[in-house]
């Protein structure tokens, strides 16, 4: 985020200060240039810095100011696309490597927290997967067998998750999961990167990324970084127009936090089997009478619904029915999840690009472990070492069994282009209420109209600068969201999430 931020701060943003790094002031040369100061970017920078590589990280906003600051930070090897599905799409060995990599990521975070003495509320605890409805009990049985085949032999079936206020029914217990405060962890990584000689430049927007022997990254305000290697870790790549974006789809997920009396909810991670599923966990509160309960769910495809308030309300109702001891909602926010069509992240060399350009994307709702896996895997690849997860996460992979999902997501994208010929949300800008936005038709053009609380109107072309879909207004976050590949723009048209890498253009008068 460069000038104006989303409307709803997450719990993390409200409870930790993010260190502000100054803008890149002059052109520089470095060994590794990383775009994106989220968990994938900083984990990679930290691990490469430990090996003595010179690293520069660029981000157009704040450290962790993107989706890392909006996650609910479950560190888990209970794969949310299910091991049954990973085994079906990729085979049994791949399911084993998936479990291995997420377990290793949890351990790696624990090691870093200890060695760097990062005060980030890191905590080991169990995770419980329970049935959303009685129809899902068989799914639990199948998943238990698949987790064992994947090597997680200490996963056990229990008669219920340890929640007193409601009976979950049978559940799978995943031991040695973890949680932390993501922004406090990012602050610790930042300190360590700087101590090891790395640089992190905030408010530095990368406009052009080129690999090859003279790899260079240009910025919007002029300075250029030249490097041996470029890593693009921007949630979804801003340097790739098509190859990756046909293989993953953007979803918005909603989160609330409430208070519950201390001790009234057992500390653990919880997930149900719904689609979309609910996920919950506790976070310690400074107040010694209460814990913070964080609950998420109600996902939908980005830019294709505008009913976030109702979704937050449904989440609140779902939570109140199961935790009647809860207080009113303290924070409401949302985040964006990139869902790969075959369930696994894309980490490695950027397809159809030079060999020294790498990407990390496709968090699949498990961004904290996938981001840490990216750090470990990319460090090995850049250092010329073999890594057993390389093929699993290879961004160029195509798995035949994922083709139906691939076709379905891309048909959905193609359908979004029909927005060119539909009527707008409003017929004139006078209909746009203060503090809101709407799409208006103007001849053959679609215009995005935003009226601020003071009544001032800003107008932009509603055409997304990535590949030309028509953006939609998100009244909950006060953003313009692209329904095709998930680019998001502030109310005043500033891009803050790719794959678009430029702002909405001003409407022609």
299, 276 Cβ separation under 8 angstroms: yes
Instruction: Name the residue nearer to ligand FES (CB basis): 172 or 484.
Output: 484
Segment 411-430, which members bind ligand FES (CB under 6 A)?
none
Instruction: Name the residue nearer to ligand FES (CB basis): 202 or 483.
Output: 483
- 487 contributes a contact to ligand FES by CB under 6 A: yes
Question: Least Å distance between CB 141 and ligand FES?
Answer: 40
Q: Indicate the helix (H) or strand (E) that contains 369.
A: helix 367-382
- 467 contributes a contact to ligand FES by CB under 6 A: yes
**361 Cβ contact list (under 8 Å, min separation 6):** 233, 234, 235, 236, 237, 244, 248, 338, 345, 346, 347, 395
Question: Least Å distance between CB 121 and ligand FES?
Answer: 35
Q: Contacting ligand FES (CB under 6 A), which of 99, 178, 469, 507? A: 469
Q: Which two tokens stand for residue 325?
A: 């001891």
* Cα distances (angstroms) measured from residue 343 to each of 19, 282, 312: 33, 27, 26
Q: Contacting ligand FES (CB under 6 A), which of 500, 501, 503, 507? A: 500
Instruction: Name the residue nearer to ligand FES (CB basis): 113 or 484.
Output: 484
**130 Cβ contact list (under 8 Å, min separation 6):** 140, 160, 161, 168, 169, 170, 171, 172, 270, 271, 272, 273
Q: How many residues bind ligand FES (CB under 6 A)?
A: 12
- 104 contributes a contact to ligand FES by CB under 6 A: no
Please tell me the distance from the alpha carbon of residue 357 to that of residue 350, in angstroms, as a whole number: 6
Site string for ligand FES, 264-303 (x = CB under 6 A): ----------------------------------------
Instruction: Name the residue nearer to ligand FES (CB basis): 332 or 485.
Output: 485
- 484 contributes a contact to ligand FES by CB under 6 A: yes
123, 267 Cβ separation under 8 angstroms: yes
Please tell me the distance from the alpha carbon of residue 353 to that of residue 36, in angstroms, as a whole number: 19
What's phi and psi for 100, nearest 5 deg?
A: -60, -45
What's phi and psi for 277, nearest 5 deg?
A: -95, 160
- 234 contributes a contact to ligand FES by CB under 6 A: no
Range in contact with ligand FES (rule: CB under 6 A) among 210-218, 330-338, 401-409, 480-488: 480-488
- 447 contributes a contact to ligand FES by CB under 6 A: no
Q: Contacting ligand FES (CB under 6 A), which of 97, 482, 504, 507? A: 482
Instruction: Name the residue nearer to ligand FES (CB basis): 136 or 240.
Output: 240
343, 86 Cβ separation under 8 angstroms: yes
What's phi and psi for 107, nearest 5 deg?
A: -65, -40
- 252 contributes a contact to ligand FES by CB under 6 A: no
- Contact positions vs ligand FES (CB under 6 A): 464, 466-469, 482, 484-487, 499-500
């Amino acid at each position: 985020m460069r000038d104006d931020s989303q409307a709803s701060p997450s719990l993390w943003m409200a409870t930790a200060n993010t260190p502000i790094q100054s803008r890149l002031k002059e052109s520089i040369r470095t060994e590794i240039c990383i775009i994106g100061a989220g968990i994938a970017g900083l984990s990679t920078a930290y691990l490469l810095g430990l090996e003595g590589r010179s690293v520069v990280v660029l981000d157009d906003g704040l450290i962790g100011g993107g989706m890392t600051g909006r996650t609910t930070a479950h560190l888990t090897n209970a794969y949310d696309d299910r091991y049954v599905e990973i085994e079906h799409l990729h085979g049994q060995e791949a399911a084993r490597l998936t479990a291995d990599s997420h377990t290793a990521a949890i351990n790696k975070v624990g090691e870093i927290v200890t060695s760097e003495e990062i005060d980030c509320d890191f905590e080991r605890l169990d995770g419980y997967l329970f049935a959303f409805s009685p129809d899902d009990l068989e799914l639990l049985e199948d998943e238990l067998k698949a987790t064992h085949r994947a090597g997680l032999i200490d996963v056990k079936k229990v008669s219920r998750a340890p929640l007193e206020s409601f009976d979950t029914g049978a559940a799978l217990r995943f031991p040695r999961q973890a949680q932390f405060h993501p922004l406090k962890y990012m602050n610790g990584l930042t300190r360590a990167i700087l101590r090891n000689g790395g640089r992190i430049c905030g408010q530095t927007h990368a406009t052009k990324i080129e690999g090859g022997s003279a790899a260079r990254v240009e910025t919007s305000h002029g300075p250029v970084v030249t490097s041996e290697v470029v890593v693009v870790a921007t949630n979804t790549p801003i340097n790739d127009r098509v190859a990756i974006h046909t293989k993953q789809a953007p979803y918005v997920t909603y989160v609330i936090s409430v208070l519950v009396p201390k001790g009234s909810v057992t500390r653990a991670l919880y997930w149900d089997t719904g689609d979309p599923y609910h996920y919950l966990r506790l976070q310690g509160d400074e107040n010694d009478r209460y814990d913070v309960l964080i609950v998420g769910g109600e996902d939908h495809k980005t830019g294709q619904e505008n009913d976030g308030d109702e979704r937050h309300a449904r989440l609140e109702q779902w939570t109140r029915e199961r935790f009647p001891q809860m207080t009113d909602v303290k924070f409401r926010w949302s985040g964006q999840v990139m869902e790969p069509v075959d369930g696994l992240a894309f980490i490695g060399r950027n397809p159809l690009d030079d060999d020294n350009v790498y990407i990390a994307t496709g968090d699949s709702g498990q961004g904290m472990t996938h981001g840490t896996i990216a750090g470990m895997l990319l460090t090995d690849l850049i250092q010329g070492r073999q890594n057993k997860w390389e093929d699993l996460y290879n961004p160029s992979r195509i798995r035949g069994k994922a083709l139906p999902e691939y076709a379905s997501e891309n048909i959905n994208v193609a359908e979004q282009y029909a927005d060119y010929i539909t009527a707008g949300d409003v017929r004139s800008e006078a209909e746009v209420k203060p503090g809101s936005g709407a799409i208006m038709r103007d001849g053959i053009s679609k215009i995005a109209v935003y009226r601020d609380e003071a009544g001032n109107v800003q107008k932009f072309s509603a055409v997304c600068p990535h590949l030309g879909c028509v953006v939609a207004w998100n009244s909950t976050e006060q953003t313009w969201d692209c329904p095709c590949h998930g680019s998001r723009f502030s109310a005043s048209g500033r891009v803050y999430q790719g794959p678009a890498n430029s702002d909405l253009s001003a409407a022609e008068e």
